[in-house]
Amino acid sequence: MNKVIETIYAHRSVRSFTKEQLTEEQIKTLVKAAQSAATSSYLQAYSIIGVKDQDKKNRLAEIAGNQSYVAENGHFFVFCADLNRLKVAGDMEGKESITSIESTEKFMVSVVDASLAAQNLVLAAESMGLGICYIGGIRNDSEAVSDLLKLPDHVIPLYGVCVGYPERTPGQKPRLPMESVYFEDEYEQNPEVLKQHLENYNETISTYYKERTNGKRSAGWTALMAEKLANPVRLYMKRFLQKKGFPLK
């Protein structure tokens, strides 16, 4: 196994960092890694906001559901879907761009572009001995985050990434069995087969939690997921997107 695959396999979400801040050089190394990712049709439809201001970090931590590591880390990046830069490009050339920009297709492209970049940044960080944690919790109030970071129309925050020196290195959570995720030539057509995989996975997860909690917790994956799904979150998202110039036409 080479160093890259080793780094990829070793991923875990770190939720406790020392006070040491990333240097400017480290930040540049990471942003360059992000920018090295593939991008759909050369659009590069994302931006990254590095948050240094402690008041802003505290506010982001609060929005994310009082996750202290959002305020306390080596650096906090917010990844944004950005179609504003492309709007500016169209305007500079005197060309109409709004039909493209307002399309569901370009929204998808911007989310994909941002996420390929983010994962590059994350792996670069992990290869440098840093820990990371994605923070979807900033979408608890995307409008407040937009205001805080002064995002213009056609730019929305997707998630944060905490980066820093790990204070504790947590364990890894077992992933779905490969046969639940990877299929050849066609999707699994028999729902009973999918269910059987998930039942096997429930055993794995249940054992995992029992061992880590001295038997106090033993839910399987489907129970955890069903519980989450039964409590829908962030149902304001469509309204927010429309307001910010992403009508998903």
Interaction between residue 186 and a second copy (CB under 8 A) = yes
Interaction between residue 118 and a second copy (CB under 8 A) = yes
State residue 155 phi and psi, 5-degree precision. -135, 125
Q: Which region, judged by CB under 8 A, interacts with a second copy, from 15-23, 64-72, 107-115, 207-215?
A: 107-115
Q: Residue 100: which residues within 8 A CB-CB, separation 6 or more? A: 86, 106
Q: How far is the CB of 53 from a second copy (least distance, A)?
A: 5
Among 184, 128, 159, which Cα is nearest to 234's? 159
> What are the residues facing 51 on neighbouring strands?
76
Tokens at 135, concatenated: 């923070």
Q: What mask of x and - would describe binding to a second copy in positions 142 to 181, judged by CB under 8 A? A: -------xxxx--x--xx-------------x-xx-x-xx
Q: 97, 200, 204, 218: which one contacts a second copy (CB under 8 A)?
A: 97
> What are the residues facing 161 on neighbouring strands?
77, 134
Interaction between residue 65 and a second copy (CB under 8 A) = no
Query: Which residue type is seen at 135?
Result: I
Name the residue with tokens 């090295």. 36
Q: Which of residues 119-138 bind a second copy (CB under 8 A)?
A: 119-120, 122-124, 126-128, 132-134, 136
Interaction between residue 193 and a second copy (CB under 8 A) = no
Query: Which residue type is seen at 82?
Result: D
Q: Which of residues 11-50 bind a second copy (CB under 8 A)?
A: 11, 13, 27-29, 31-38, 40-44, 46-50
